[in-house]
Structures are given as C-alpha cells and as structure tokens.
Amino acid sequence: MPDSILEKAYYRSPIFLQNLAFSSYGLYLRRKRFWNGFSKNLERLRETEWWSASKIAQFQEQKFVEVVRHAYETVPFYRNLYDLHGVNIDQIKSLADAYKLPTITKVDIKNNLAGLVSAQYSGCRLMRQLTSGTTGTPLTVSLTKQALNLQWAIWWRHKSRFGLCPGDRHLVFGARVPVGVNQRKPPYWRRDYINNRDYLSTYHISRRNARTIADYLNSEEFSFYTGYPSAIYDLAYLLDEKGFEITSRPNWIVSGSDSLVPRYERLISRVFGAPVTEQYGMTEFAGNISKCEKGNFHVDFECGLVEVEGGNAAEGGALILTGWGNPAMPFIRYRIGDAAVPLSGSCDCGRQSFCFSQIEGRLEDYVVTPDGRRVTGMNQVFEYVTNAIEMQVYQEQLDLIEVRVVPGPNFGARDKDEFTREFRRRAGSEMAIKFRMVSSIDRSQSGKIKAVISDVSTEGSLQSS
C-alpha cells in the first residue's frame, strides 16, 4: 500500500532485497496472467487469426447476441438502461441490430460500478484491475480469471507475430514506482526474476541519468522493450541528444498504453536500432486491436466487436466497442473516446479480420518537473481519488500544477491528500499543487478528456538535473 510501513521499509531496503520483493510481486502477477489455460488460449488464438471472413462474421454475430442477452438478464445496469430506452431484447438477433442499443461512456460506467457486475458471478472471487488509459476517468474493472488469462493470451499473440515468446527477457517502461523518487544514485531499475524482466523507473529518465541508463542498457541483453511509447521516446531523445549509442539492441520494441505517433516511432527505432510495433488494448477488455507484420491494426475479434461511428475509409470515426471476453463485467457499445481509420482494401498479411490503418487517441502530455523529468501515467495517481467524477492536471509553469476536479458528493480533503501523496511519489516535492473544482472538463472532438495538459512539455523545456 502507498505510504505504508511496508512500502517505506521497501524503499529503505538494500537493492537486492527490493529485487526479491519485486520478484515476489512478479510471482503474484504470473499466477494471475499465465495460469489457468494460458498456453491453450494462445495456441487456439494462433489458429483463429487465420479464419475466413465469413467464419469470423458468424462467430462475432453469435457472440454479440449472446453477450447482449447475458447482460440484460444478469447485469442490473443493462436491464435498467435497455428498459429505459425501450429496447426489445428479443429483437437483437444479429450485428445489424447493434444500432438499437444505446451507447455508454466511462462516466456511465464509473457512476454505476456496483450495478455492472453480472449477478451470475455474485459471490465469486473476481480480479480487480485499474484502467491504464490516459483519460481523467479511471475505472476499476472486475474480471474473471479466465478473462484475464484470455486477455494476456491475446496480447502475447501479438508479440508472437514478431518471434517473441513468453519468458523472453525484457525491459518495461511503466508508470509504477519501483524506485523511490528521491533516489539519486543508480540503479534506477528493479529486477523481476520470476517474469525475466527489468522495470525501469520512468520517473528517473533525465539528462543527468542518461549516461547511467545507456551504460545499463549496453550491459544487458533484452529480447524486447515494452511500455509507454512516450517514456521510451523520452529516453531515446536524451540518448540521441547526448550522442550515447546503444550497442546491445533489443529485437523489437512493443508499445502500448498511449499513442505511438510517427515521430516517436522514427526516433525510437533509430536510437535503439530495433523495429517498433504496437497494440491497442484496455483493461476494460471491451476489445483489442493489434498490429501485424505489415504494420496494420487487426481487430482481435475473439474478444469483441469494434464499430466505427459515422466513419469511412478516408476519414474514419469514433470507436464503439463491445466485449464478450469478460462475462463478469461486459462492456456493450462502449464509447472509449478514441478514433480510427479503416484500412482501404485487405491487408497483405493474409488475415481476414477487420483492419485499421491508423488509431488516433491516447496521446498523453507530460507533467514536467523543475529538475527536467517528465512524469506520465497520471491514471496511477487518479485511481486513489475515489470521490472525483473526472480529473485533469493542467501545468502552465514548471513549479505549479492545477488539478481540475469534477467532484462527487463525497469529495473532500482526504481525496486531495491522496492525490498529493501519489503525485509526490512520482514527481517529488518541488511543485506546488492547486485544486480547482469545476462543473465540467472540456473534451476533444472524440469526446475524450486529456488527463494532462501541459504548456511546458516540449523537448525545449527539458533541463539538466
């Protein structure tokens, strides 16, 4: 737990003990993600990705009808929603009937979490996962063990397209805090022996630490890097600026969680000497879209349906997702706040699943600290503010952030303290924090809230630390 006696003891422990503690947590993650039939799921997914278009359509139609009926019969939120909108559930017989169902948003989900879990799983032990997207509306999602297992199998099918295998040694660029923010000496990474990975503290990527991190990367052999492309880009930018060469190169870089914009991809690939791929997923398990060897995004139809609202091959449109991979908490016609452009024509890889050429959204700004570091992953901070409806961080100057909050009825001093504690764990104590209560937060054209708006998060603002 954050700021607990156990956490304080962890940060004060010798590095080898921290690595053992981190590995113990890795064992917990491994049991959640890779047991209960993971290998069988992955094997089957490698077969189904080559199904014909007609077989895929038939499969999706069956699953769509089944999950809608399941939701109406066992999930209070959907029964109330569909009754309110006059939906006759018996008339939902095919994918063509999807338009008869109302769409839902993250705010709808957050305001009705208790009514979103299927009564069929009442009393069952479910997994709890926090959404890791970049919006100001984090959610706690309940999943069955089988659903989490399938989700990780889908994510690993994507990696396997590029010759990567579970158990390969890899480096994670994530938003957790494995290294205390006040630590001023290396190592700025911790080792998980159970999952054969190192976890680099993205909060320690700075000009001062660039040489140390470069030497570390060159002393290790990683099969792949994975994590936030914004954080990987940050490091690539600093290494390139300093002229530090990476000679021990990964085979691939696998990005996710926020957008891999073209300029990120070009610099990352050049600096680390490895090709870059990405997949579009979410904790909600409402759908998943993964790149193939030809660089196009394929819908992972085994877990859900992806609609494009009002889109066409030239312009694309907002994504509406329906997931059937997690019957404990299904998301049906869910507006996730991102947009995509369908591929014109078929993909040369030979897969017949629906394909996109581009996915837009999930681009996260940084909070830039006075010592030049860039802090991303604000969702990991927002999760502790349980009584806020929506949140956004605005930074106009280096030493101050404004936290805009749409408060719930019970929002108060404790929520502010929780935010402050978690933010300072990542950014340090040099910045002032100002809270401002608002009635709403502006959205993009796709209906999404940016978690961070920073007027100083540009390359030119990076400072020596």
Structure tokens at 219: 């002393």
What are the C-alpha distances in Å from 123 to residues 31, 71, 126, 328? 21, 18, 9, 11
Record the pTM: 0.82
CATH of domain 5-34+163-274: 3.40.50
CA distance 269 to 138: 31
Whether residue 425 contacts residue 395, with contact meaning beta carbons closer than 8 Å, is answered with no
Domain definitions of the chain by residue range: 5-34+163-274, 38-159+280-360, 367-461
What parts of the chain have a pLDDT lower than 50? 133-134, 446, 458-465
* CATH topology identical between 5-34+163-274 and 367-461: no
Say which residues have a Cβ less than 8 Å from residue 86's Cβ, sequence separation at least 6.
none
Structure tokens at 285: 């398990």
pLDDT of residue 309: 85
Among candidate residues 411, 358, 336, 296, the one with its CA nearest the CA of residue 131: 336
CA distance 170 to 103: 39
Structure tokens at 23: 């590995």
pLDDT of residue 462: 42
Structure tokens at 102: 């109302």
Residue whose structure tokens are 């870059």? 276
CA distance 216 to 231: 17
Is residue 140 within a helix (H) or strand (E), and if so which, with residue range?
strand 140-143
CATH of the domain spanning 38-159+280-360, picked from 3.30.230.10, 3.40.1480.10, 3.40.50.12780, 3.40.50.1980:
3.40.50.12780
pLDDT of residue 420: 93
- Tell me whether strands 317-323 and 334-342 are parallel, antiparallel or unpaired: antiparallel
Under CATH, which architecture does the 367-461 domain have? 2-Layer Sandwich (3.30)
CA distance 303 to 286: 8
CA distance 352 to 272: 33
CA distance 85 to 96: 18
165: left (phi over 0), alpha (psi -120 to 50) or beta: beta
Can you name the residues that pair with 2 across neighbouring β-strands? Answer: none
Residue 305 phi/psi, 5-degree rounding, is -110, 140
Say which residues have a Cβ less than 8 Å from residue 307's Cβ, sequence separation at least 6.
98, 319, 320, 321, 322, 333
Among candidate residues 365, 377, 17, 371, the one with its CA nearest the CA of residue 209: 371
Residue whose structure tokens are 């006059």? 86
